[in-house]
Every structure is written in structure tokens, then in C-alpha cells.
Amino acid sequence: MTLSEFDSFRPSEPVRRRRREGKRGPGRRPANGDGSREMPMVPEQEFSSYYGRPVVKAAPWGNDVAAYLFLGGVAAGSALLGLGGQLSGRPTLRRNARLSALAAVSAGTVALVKDLGRPERFLHMLRTFKVTSPMSVGSWILSAFSAGAGVSAVAEIDRMSGSRLPLGPLRNVLRAVEGPAGFEAAVFAGPLAAYTAVLLGDTATPTWNAAHEELPFVFVSSAALASAGLAMVTTPVRETGPARKLAVLGVLGEVAAMKVMEQRMDPVAAEPLHQGKAGAMLKWSERLAVAGGLGTLLGGRHRGAAAVSGLALLTASALTRFGVFEAGLASARDPRYTIEPQKTRLAARRAAGITDDAITTGG
């Protein structure tokens, strides 16, 4: 179409972007058309957008939040290991796990507060309890966990310093409550490890939202293997038998949950998990987790090998969290990941005869 002679100076129209070929999950929607395979029932959705600008906004969260995802998991798993050490008579494991839990949860909380738009108002998180807000539920879980983790870790610090903390008569109280406090922290440990998955799932960010069914399993597994890895670094091998088992279970859980998650997600929404920085991080996360798990199984009784495996597991967990975090942000920045899965599911519902629940209506 030409309206004037000056139209020849216009830049050519950009080519409409087609589905990227290449690394995707085992093709649930194979690009074919040569008749060699069955064609999908719902046709591929053409993709148009408003000048390629994002539809949803990415969460304004920096790496602080990704670091918190990791640290919260380490804290949660450490509190469980601490309780295990407490109940099974492993004093060094108990002490190290309790200290790890307090250190991780403190660093994580600082990271969270730092990421707020108004850090001085962080206590507003506790001005209400809202079950519809995973962030609110999580703030209460974090507070409850920190109370128990703090008390039990302070008790350890007091013992390590030869009762030199200026506690006065409170020392007896501390001795009396440290056991229950360790138990209380362990009660909130699981929720602390899992709520962050709900927090990410309960957003309009395409990749996080599409992963909401399996992300809790990925996150608790990641927390388990990270905290077990940390225990293997900090604690002599004679007391880390359970940590080694937990590490192996965590690796198995994470690799399996990640695979199931990628299978069950919308294939387009899953793409950011395989691309760019996020893809590289998740790939290395899996490699390091498997390597750390094997190292734990084969060399876990050697102090050095256990520590190296533990470090590999910690790195794997951090990479998992940063990878999932980055993938979500990338999916929000590209309108394709919002529009295509939505068009696909709308077309699928229409093909199934459900025509009354679209936001766009003819009248």
C-alpha cells in the first residue's frame, strides 16, 4: 500500500516474530505441517503486541529478593537439621545448624528490608494478617521462625562463650526454652521454605504463574539440599549422616520436581527457563546439584570431599533461586510470554465449547 511518494523512505515493516525454534521441552506442540505428525487441535496463535512493550509489569525486585529466596531456604533446612541434631543427640550438628539458621535468616531479612521501596516502613508488613497475600503470610512465618531460630542460636552462642553473655537471671529461662524454641523454629521451617514459591506463583508474571503447581516442591528440595550442604561444610562427618541423606533426597527431589514442572507448564511460558542468563544458571544448577549429590554419596564420609560437595550443593541452590527469579522477570519483560499462553488457553477453552468466560465479548 502506498499513499505518497515519500512512503519509499519509510523503514520496512519489522518481520512479525514467529515462535522460536530450538531448545524447548519435548515438543508438546511440535512445529510441523508436512503431515508426518499429528497436528495440534488448537492452532498456533499469531502474536501481535503494542510495539513490543510488556503487557504485565515485572516485579521491581532486585537480586536482594533472589538472595532471600536462597537464604530463607538455607535457614529453613538448617532449623530442621538443628531439631534433628537436638533430638538425636548430635550436639555439633545442632549447634552449627542453629547458628546457620540464625545467620541465614538474619541476612535474608536484611536483604528483604533493603529491597523495599520504603525500608523504614518494614514493620508495616505486620500491621495486618492477610491470607490472600502470600507476602503477608510469609512475613508472619518469617517472624515466627526468626523468634525460635534466634532464641535457640543465642543459647548456643552463650554456651560457646562459656556463659559470658550478660544474661543474668535470664540464662535459666534461656536454657529452659531453647529446646522448645528449636522445635518452634522447625515447625515454621517448612512453611518458610515453601511460601516463597507461592509468593512467586501468585503473580501475573507468566513463568512464575505457570510454574505454581510444582514450584513449592522445587523450592523445598532446594532448601533441603542447600542446608544439608551447609551442614556438610560446617560439621565433622561423624555427625552429618542425616545431612548427607537429606542432601541426596533434596537433589532427587529438585531434579524431579524441575523436570515435572517444565513438562506441565505451558511450553511458551517455560521458555525463559531455558534461555539467556536464567537458562544458563538453571543448567549449571542442575549439574552442580547432581555433582554435589554424587559427591555426597561417594565421598561424603571424607571431610574434604563432604565440604566440596556441600559447597556445590549450596551453589546449586543459589543458582536455582536466581535462575527461577530471573526467568520470571524476563518473561514479564517480553509481551510474548503474556499474550501467547493466554491466547492459547482462551482458544482451547473455546474449542472445548466454553464461550462465556472471555474478557472480550461481542456485546
Partner 1 sequence: MGQLSGPTDPTADAHWEHSHPRKGFFTDTSICIGCKACEVACKEWNHNPQDGNLELLGSSYDNTGALGASTWRHVAFIEQGQERIVEARESGRALVSLGMPRIGPPATASPAATDLAEAETTPPDTADFRWLMSSDVCKHCTHAGCLDVCPTGALFRTEFGTVVVQDDVCNGCGTCVAGCPFGVIERRADGSVKVATSRNDQHAKHPAVPNAGIAQKCTLCYDRLVADETPACAKACPTTSIKFGDHDDMVETARERVSSLHAQGLTEARLYGANENDGVGGTGSVFLLLDEPEVYGLPPDPRVPTADLPQMYRRAGMAVAGMAAAVAVAFLGGRA
Residue 296 backbone phi and psi in degrees, to 5: -65, -45
Quick one: 158 or 326, whose CB is closer to partner 1?
A: 326
106, 114 in Cβ contact below 8 A? Answer: no
Rounded to a whole number of angstroms, the minimum distance from the CB of residue 60 to partner 1 is 4
192, 46 in Cβ contact below 8 A? Answer: no
Quick one: 25 or 54, whose CB is closer to partner 1?
A: 54
Quick one: 124 or 287, whose CB is closer to partner 1?
A: 124
Residue 5 backbone phi and psi in degrees, to 5: -65, -25
Classified as helix, coil or strand, 21 is coil
262, 270 in Cβ contact below 8 A? Answer: yes
Rounded to a whole number of angstroms, the minimum distance from the CB of residue 274 to partner 1 is 21
Q: What letter does residue 211 receive in the DSSP assignment?
A: T
Rounded to a whole number of angstroms, the minimum distance from the CB of residue 20 to partner 1 is 18
Quick one: 24 or 336, whose CB is closer to partner 1?
A: 336
Quick one: 87 or 173, whose CB is closer to partner 1?
A: 87
Residue 242 backbone phi and psi in degrees, to 5: -65, -35
User: Residues with Cβ < 8 Å from 10, sequence gap 6 or more?
Assistant: none
Rounded to a whole number of angstroms, the minimum distance from the CB of residue 363 to partner 1 is 5
Quick one: 98 or 158, whose CB is closer to partner 1?
A: 98
Rounded to a whole number of angstroms, the minimum distance from the CB of residue 218 to partner 1 is 9
Rounded to a whole number of angstroms, the minimum distance from the CB of residue 178 to partner 1 is 19
Set of cell numbers at residue 359: 474478557
Residue 225 backbone phi and psi in degrees, to 5: -70, -30
The string over 76-115, giving b where at least 16 C-beta atoms fall within 10 Å of a residue's C-beta and e elsewhere, is bbbbbbbbbbbeeebeebbbbbbbbbbbbbbbbbebbbeb
Q: How far apart are the first and last CA of the chain?
A: 33
Distance CA 304, CA 284 (A): 22
Degrees, nearest 5: CA angle 356-357-362: 60
Rounded to a whole number of angstroms, the minimum distance from the CB of residue 132 to partner 1 is 4
Quick one: 48 or 172, whose CB is closer to partner 1?
A: 48
